[in-house]
Amino acid sequence: MRVLPDTNVWIGWFGRAPEDFALEGGRGRPFLATITLQELWAGVRSVAERAYCDRIYRQARSAGRLINPPVASWIIAGQTLGVLARRELGAARLRALRNDVLLAATAWAYDAAVMTHNRADFAKIAEVLPVQVVGLA
Amino acid sequence: MGRKVRKTLNIDAEKLKRAREYLGVDTETEVIDQLLDDCEFERELLQLLREAPPSFKTFRSPLTRRPPPRVRRRRR
């Protein structure tokens, strides 16, 4: 199964490398989303971290494992945020969910699942956008 | 990229057919090649993750709403 780990999953892996890419009930084929790269780059604090993010990016790109949201994902993400707004999610919460919704819409476009520790927020998104959400094994 | 060699393999034909359909490729060679690429990428990625600078243990992106689970503070 293709999986798009969210930023906190990648950060967790940077802190402690996993043994493998096992999922609950299967095996994941991890892809790196450019949305995640943006969030990682926003947090780098040193030359070493910057160099490491660049290595992750180059490795994913060279292996064809880098995924950029296509036009359809931006449109679906906007529509999803619109539905969530009509469900009276506040503006601040909606803004905070923007990247998660775009990640979910990108996973949907590539027939992939979102891998996350934060299943509650993605479950709320999945009520609107039919994306599969998986946790770590 | 390594040298291409001809191999004789004993493989479950039905499983190979299902894999070819699932991956959407034209030939059985492409199935095996793609799965080997996957294996190679994952091996290299695991190695790269093991080489992450120690400072990532306290890393947090300002764009994420929640801290990663390992750096979340305990409630008092």
pLDDT tens, per residue, chain A with 137 residues: 899 999 999 999 999 999 988 887 778 899 999 999 999 999 999 999 999 999 999 999 999 999 999 999 999 999 999 999 998 788 888 999 999 999 999 999 999 999 999 888 899 999 999 999 998 77
Backbone angles phi, psi at B40, to 5 degrees: -65, -45
Q: Would you say residue B62 lies in a domain?
A: no
Q: Would you say residue B47 lies in a domain?
A: yes
Q: Would you say residue B20 lies in a domain?
A: yes
∠ CA A27-A33-A38, rounded to 5°: 140
In angstroms, the CA B5 to CA A69 distance is 37
Tell me what ipTM this predicted complex has: 0.88
Nearest CA in chain B to A100: B64
**Cβ B23 vs Cβ B31: under 8 Å:** yes
Closest-CA distance of chain B to residue A71, Å: 22
Among residues A63, A117, A80, A24, the alpha carbon closest in space to that of B48 is found at A63
Do the bridges between strand A132-134 and strand A113-115 make them parallel or antiparallel, or are there none, so unpaired? Answer: parallel
Tokens, residue B30: 């492409």
Structural domain of B20: 13-56
Q: Which pTM does this prediction carry?
A: 0.88
3-state secondary structure of A126: helix
Which residues in chain A are contacts of B42 at CB distance < 8 A? Answer: 20-21, 29-30
Which residues in chain A are contacts of B40 at CB distance < 8 A? Answer: 63
Does the distance separating the beta carbons of B61 and A39 come in below 8 Å? yes
Considering only the beta carbons, identify the residue of A8, A15, A56 that sits closest to B66: A8
Q: Would you say residue B70 lies in a domain?
A: no
For chain A, first and last CA: distance in Å? 14
Q: Would you say residue B63 lies in a domain?
A: no
Total structural domains within chain B: 1
Does the distance separating the beta carbons of A14 and B59 come in below 8 Å? yes
Considering only the beta carbons, identify the residue of A38, A43, A117 that sits closest to B60: A43
In angstroms, the CA B58 to CA B37 distance is 32
∠ CA A117-B42-A34, rounded to 5°: 60
